[in-house]
Amino acid sequence: MKNNADLSINFCGVKFENPFCLSSSPVGYHAEMCARAFDAGWGGIVYKTLGLEKSFKVVMPSPRLNAYHVGDKRFVGLQNAEQITDRPIADNIKDLLWLKKNYPNKVLISSIMGYVDEDWTELAKMSEDAGADLLELNFSCPQMAHKHAGHRIGQDFHAVAAFTEVVKKASKLPVIAKMTPNITDMIPVALAAKEGGADAISAINTIRAITDIDIDNFTPLPNIHGNSSPTGYSGKAVKPIAMRFVSELCNSKQLNLPVSAMGGIETWVDALHFLLLGATNLQVTSGIMRYGYRIVEDMIEGLSDYMIERQIKSLDEIIGKAAQKIVDPSDFNTRYQVVSVIDENKCIGCGQCFISCQDGANQAIKFDAATRKVSVNEERCLGCLLCKHVCPVWDCISYKEVDTSYTKHAAIF
């Protein structure tokens, strides 16, 4: 009989039945949607960012989305020009109350964005009264129409520290500060949030980007009545960048705060990657926008099987397992050198590795026109493995270590 592994986590003193949460966005726009997400299995939700309409009336630009397609692969990335919520604060608060009442065991995180101290205070108090378990401070929306909000604040250390402090004073709830990736180094901002009293960091919000241009009328997309702007990019395509930021946050000894990670999570393997880098909690938007809440079923089942197969009792055993393997390039052991090995039986003779090595590496592959088979000249092979990465047969090309004392490498050492 199938046993489920224990996927529960403790994040800022709050227990989650599993680490999978909706990130703040249209996927958590109102109570009915959040309820369906809970029913599908999500452990928590970060509600769509709240703001006060008396300070700033939000109107969404239209159309607000564009997707990045690569060849026939649709929706590799998603660009959005969306603002924070455009629903009245009173309606949203009612929704939060309803959700907490009907889903007491699920975790409710209220994402808030103010423009002045008073807004932050009011939003924090209202959220706490409505039953939120945690607060997430949105310092990171890259396309707010308001001049003193979003990623502009997120790039300003002093503002981040000050607003965090205001929220901490207004509410007893644990506070997560959400970081923008539109900055060279995220650590100083995260440290500022910590200084203001933040209990955790979440990252990444979306990356400013241009995904497409209409070549007939010279307008970048989304074409918002003749104009466009570099706005928030998310989804599978940003996962490598998100992993870099998350790893830096998790590896900062000075910061030493729990991290809620997001950026391109669609499968349990993506989720596991972030856990291995050191994140405790995980959030998803684009994957849900593309495939629906149902994807959490496969995250739960897949991660659970992974743990059972390896006899992992709790996620704590694996969180951060890959973190210590991340070092500065100056610390690499360059005495270790490899060359590629091609499995002749698996080779289908397409010659893609030959072309790539010829024009993109060191001309180490020979293509036999008569047999359509390739072979590696180990003397010339750089061990870059470009060939392996272009090969359409996934397990055809591997590599082996070479002795660096007397091969061509000897000259270098």
Ligand X SMILES: Cc1cc2nc3c(=O)[nH]c(=O)nc-3n(C[C@H](O)[C@H](O)[C@H](O)COP(=O)(O)O)c2cc1C
Exposure of 100 by Cβ count < 10 A (0-12 exposed, 13-18 middle, 19+ buried)? middle
* Residue placing its CB nearer to other proteins in the complex, 20 or 120: 20
Minimal distance in Å, beta carbon 153 to ligand X?
12
Q: Report the partner that residue 302 touches, choosing among other proteins, ligand X, none (CB closer than 5 to 8 A by kind).
A: other proteins
297: contact with other proteins by CB under 8 A? yes
CA atoms within 13 A of residue 12's CA, in its CB half-sphere: 23
Site string for other proteins, 254-273 (x = CB under 8 A): ------------xxxx----
294: contact with other proteins by CB under 8 A? yes
- Residues 41 and 201: their CA atoms lie apart, in Å, by 24
Beta bridge partners of 214: 219
Site for other proteins in 300-329 (CB under 8 A): 301-302, 305, 309
- 384: annotated active-site residue: no
70: contact with other proteins by CB under 8 A? no
Q: Tokens 């007939």 belong to which residue? A: 216
* Residue placing its CB nearer to other proteins in the complex, 84 or 391: 391
CA distances for 167 relative to 51, 106, 274, angstroms: 14, 23, 28
Q: Which of 216, 140, 226, 122 is nearest to 178 (CA)?
A: 140
Minimal distance in Å, beta carbon 193 to ligand X?
14
Minimal distance in Å, beta carbon 378 to ligand X?
42
Q: Let me know: does 372 contact 351? Beta carbons within 8 Å.
A: yes
Q: Report the partner that residue 285 touches, choosing among ligand X, other proteins, none (CB closer than 5 to 8 A by kind).
A: ligand X
299: contact with other proteins by CB under 8 A? yes
Q: Report the partner that residue 2 touches, choosing among other proteins, ligand X, none (CB closer than 5 to 8 A by kind).
A: other proteins
Q: Report the partner that residue 92 touches, choosing among ligand X, other proteins, none (CB closer than 5 to 8 A by kind).
A: none
* Residue placing its CB nearer to ligand X in the complex, 61 or 220: 61
Q: Which of 205, 235, 317, 327 is nearest to 272 (CA)?
A: 317
394: contact with other proteins by CB under 8 A? yes
Q: Let me know: does 110 contact 45? Beta carbons within 8 Å.
A: no
Q: Report the partner that residue 280 touches, choosing among other proteins, ligand X, none (CB closer than 5 to 8 A by kind).
A: none
Go through 214-248 and write b for each residue having 16 or more CB atoms within 10 A of its CB, e for each that does not.
eeeeebbbbebeeebebbbbbbbbbbeebbbbbbb
* Residue placing its CB nearer to other proteins in the complex, 308 or 323: 308
Minimal distance in Å, beta carbon 202 to ligand X?
8
- Using CB under 8 A as the binding criterion, the count of chain residues that bind other proteins stands at 20
Binding part of the chain for other proteins, among 1-9, 354-362, 383-391, 401-409 by CB under 8 A, reads: 1-9
* Residue placing its CB nearer to other proteins in the complex, 78 or 201: 78
Which tokens belong to 313? 């009792």
Q: Report the partner that residue 299 touches, choosing among ligand X, other proteins, none (CB closer than 5 to 8 A by kind).
A: other proteins
CA atoms within 13 A of residue 372's CA, in its CB half-sphere: 7
What DSSP line would sit under 266-293, residue for residue? -SHHHHHHHHHHT-SEEEESHHHHHH-T
Please give the residue ranges that form the binding site for ligand X (CB under 6 A).
23-26, 48-49, 78, 80, 82, 84, 111, 138, 141, 178, 205-206, 232, 234-235, 238, 262-265, 284-287
- Residues 63 and 155: their CA atoms lie apart, in Å, by 27
- Residues 266 and 288: their CA atoms lie apart, in Å, by 8
Q: Report the partner that residue 138 touches, choosing among ligand X, other proteins, none (CB closer than 5 to 8 A by kind).
A: ligand X
Beta-carbon contacts of 13 under 8 Å, excluding residues fewer than 6 positions away, are 174
93: contact with other proteins by CB under 8 A? no
172: contact with other proteins by CB under 8 A? no
Identify the active-site residue in 12, 21, 34, 141.
Answer: 141
Which tokens belong to 370? 């008569």
Q: Which of 86, 85, 91 is nearest to 31 (CA)?
A: 91
Binding site for other proteins (CB under 8 A): 1-3, 266-269, 291, 294-295, 297-299, 301-302, 305, 309, 393-395
Q: Which residues are catalytic?
A: 141
